[in-house]
Chains A and B, each alone.
Chain A
Amino acid sequence: MAEFEPVLTARWGDPEAVTIDGYLRTGGYQGLRKALRMAPEEVIEEVKSSGLRGRGGAGFPTGTKWSFIPQDTGKPVYVVANFDESEPGTFNNRELVERDPHQLIEGIVICAYAVRAHTAFVYTRGEFVWPGTVLERAVAEAYDRGFLGKDILGSGFDLELVVHRGAGAYICGEETALLESLEGYRGQPRLRPPFPAVEGLYRSPTVINNVETLSCVPHILDRGAAWFASIGTKTSTGPKIFSISGKVNRPGNYEAPMGTTARELIEEYAGGVREGRRVKAWTPGGSSTPFLTADHLDTPMDFDSITAAGSLLGTGAMIVLDETDCVVDATLRFTQFYAHESCGKCTPCREGTWWAARVLRRVEHGLGRMEDLDLAFDIADNMLFKSFCALADGAASPIQSSLRFFRDEYEEHVRLGRCPLRAEEHPLLEAVSDRTGGATGRLAQVLPEGREVELGEVLR
């Protein structure tokens, strides 16, 4: 913790850093100056040898992605920065732009130069009214000072940058749905292949990268690939911003080398669990990554170690539940999220998320049957790797992992006929369980006709 010098968040303490003058004063646009003196292919090589892997969730090597862009199609090349950040628990892109927007712009210009693109977009989450405004102001400054527009810094390289605002749809973070949305259609994923590198925006070669990924790029060019690769682990290089939230004392974004253990991040960076409680469950990379438990806290937070532990590094968003929190309830809420955000294009996801939410809801509220646990697992199984895009795989993650690690807790819900941890019961259930001393199983006996149906409606 002591010897690591923040890279991506180095300017966060400096309120001036959002302005171009503040950015330039602290070494800004030096990476771009270096890049413009290199051949585009050399820039790609540099990013490749830095080992940088995408921070948007999948961890694909960034330099390799750029090298897939064909230059002989006769079509324009596009660069799109994915600033749709909506994965539950993830909030580092927002703060990166709010506090250091030029770092992102510089990364985009370098990327565009490397792949020979002359138009770039930042697809900004609709709800990011303010971060989008910070970015628009920074873009205007960058145009004024010649870091965007025609003949950037006298290099002969031109780049137009457009900030596009989304309109509230998690699925538009998925790269092909994002492209559909940016073209003015419903944000529903496309079949891959062809991959965006070959047929992306307007069926032209397109690079899509996450905001944190692109924010790493200026530093790689400025300080060298070898320096970047010296941070972190062999296969997960560089610094990473971990978004830590839930039941910790100091929730926030914390930058640390890849491979820092979850324990260190939660206990030292985020100040430990509230009220001296213990970690019960946590996600390593947002709601789409399988839950891990207190037994996994010594796992290093890098792509390979977390995969080996049975989860995914995802976006590095750690949502922490303590022993007083109900895992079934958290799983239910995540599942409702996926049911709401499913784009409806394919059956396993559209139907699966909807039904899984219903089954989990009745378990959480004390009307579940033991068979429901296998049923929920099975529904998740019918989504996993059988759907059109990875949203459904993400939806299966909390369901299957919680059933794997916390089956006892599910069974207790069924046995007791209520949530063992919930302070407030659903009003109808409360009245029911008053009459039955806790068991809500035999509804027909305690509810008058009509009421039964009403409750059935609620808990269907």
Chain B
Amino acid sequence: MTDVAPLRPPAKAVADRRLPRWQTGQVGGEAHLEAVDVPGPVLSEESRRLAERIMARYPTRRSALVPLLYLVQAEVGWVPRQGMREVAELLGITTAEVEAVATFYTMLKLRPCGKYVISVCTNPSCALLGGRQLFERARELLGEEAEGGVTADGLFTLEEEECLAACDKAPVLAVNYLYFDRVTEERLEEIVESIRAGRVPEAARGGVPGELREVSRTLAGLGTLRDASTALPEEGARG
């Protein structure tokens, strides 16, 4: 049998990178604890005051669970176990209950995460127009460790994204969930380079993406994005 050394290692493009929802998170088990925990407290006095405000919006405190985890993410940049403990205390439920919820949602980052989460949509409407190639280019640019982890400079986490509900602007890429439309590989390179150089480019809508901590604050329900007017650029109605 001849050697087939020139074969490249298996591209994970075909393997499932996306874990099923019922397997996401993977928190729990002693072996993981070190990687997913930090010393406390993680919520500042100010955050605890804000937490009270958030809880007061809902008929039950428990409804504020996800917003409070976003608040932890706004403090730490991701959601360590210690954050779950503090949220559990605030809500008067067990840490296990908080963990059960936290592991369900992909926007709660349960391990250290880049300041900028790059999401590339590879669902068919985007894939038909080059979404997959864009994702592969992003993998090359950011390196393997960006997927499910964070680049050595702490800047990037890369995610293969499901339909972002902007298929008319395919292929779509998001930086901390602000969208860039009809992104080419050159544009992707520009975006990555600019972020590395400390000049985050402006998204198609919503202004310049802040760091994940800042965006998590918005997601917790605590205010708006920086330097973005509500007026929409671009083409208007069709019909």
Contacts and interface: CB of A to CB of B under 8 A. Distances in A.
Interface of A: 4, 6, 9-16, 18-19, 76, 85-91, 93-94, 98-99, 119, 125-130, 132-134, 136-137, 162-171, 181-187, 202, 243-247, 250-256, 269, 287, 317, 319, 321, 325, 329-330, 333-334, 336-337, 339-344, 350, 353-354, 357, 361, 365, 426-428, 431, 446-449, 451, 454-455, 457-459
Given A330-B124, A428-B8, 13 more contacts: A86-B162, A126-B105, A129-B177, A136-B224, A162-B57, A170-B162, A184-B62, A184-B101, A187-B105, A251-B167, A251-B169, A255-B238, A449-B1
B81 to A, nearest CB: 18
Contact of A129 (B11, B20, B60, B219): B219
Nearest to B159: A168
Given A254-B239, A427-B11, A133 B218 contact: yes
B41 interface: no
Given A168-B107, A243-B168, A245-B168, A426 B218 contact: no
A340 B165 contact: no
Nearest to B239: A6
Contacts of B166: 91, 94
B20 A344 contact: yes
A126 B10 CA distance: 33
Contacts of A427: 7-8, 10-11
Contact of B228 (A133, A162, A169): A133
Contact of A169 (B16, B21, B58, B177): B21
Contacts of A11: 237
B10 to A, nearest CB: 4
Given A91-B168, A357-B16, A186 B162 contact: no
Contact of B225 (A18, A130, A339, A458): A130
A136 B179 CA distance: 18
Between A85, A126, A446, A449, the greatest number of chain B beta carbons within 10 A of the residue's beta carbon is seen for A126
Given A129-B215, A165-B221, A245-B167, A183 B63 contact: yes
Contact of A247 (B3, B101, B128, B178): B128
A458 B123 CA distance: 20
Interface in B165-216: 165-170, 174, 176-179, 203, 205-206, 215
Contact of B20 (A256, A333, A339): A339
Nearest to A448: B1
B15 to A, nearest CB: 5
B7 A344 contact: no
A426 B13 CA distance: 8
Contacts of A251: 125, 167-170
A171 to B, nearest CB: 7
Contacts of B104: 169, 186-187, 343
A448 B3 CA distance: 7
A95 to B, nearest CB: 8
Given A98-B232, A126-B219, A333 B125 contact: no
A13 B22 contact: no
A253 B206 contact: no
Name the residue among A134, A334, A343 with the largest chain B CB count within 10 angstroms: A134
Nearest to B91: A184
A12 B224 CA distance: 23
Interface of B: 1-4, 6-8, 10-11, 13-16, 18-23, 57-60, 62-67, 69-70, 91, 100-101, 104-108, 119, 122-125, 127-129, 162-170, 174, 176-179, 203, 205-206, 215, 218-221, 224-225, 228, 230-232, 236-239
Contacts of A93: 165
Given A9-B238, A428-B7, A455-B10, A165 B162 contact: no
Contact of B162 (A250, A321, A340, A458): A340
Contacts of B127: 329-330, 333
Contacts of B125: 88-89, 245-246, 251, 319
Contact of A321 (B128, B177, B220, B230): B128
Contacts of A10: 237
A342 B236 contact: no
B21 A341 contact: yes
Contact of A182 (B63, B215, B225): B63
Nearest to A167: B105
Contacts of B63: 164, 182-184
Contacts of B106: 167-169
B170 A129 contact: no
Contacts of B2: 448
B214 to A, nearest CB: 10
Max count, chain A CB within 10 A of own CB: residue among B1, B7, B16, B128: B128
B178 to A, nearest CB: 6
B174 A127 contact: yes
B168 A126 contact: no
B228 A130 contact: yes
Given A130-B205, A256-B239, A341-B162, A426 B14 contact: yes
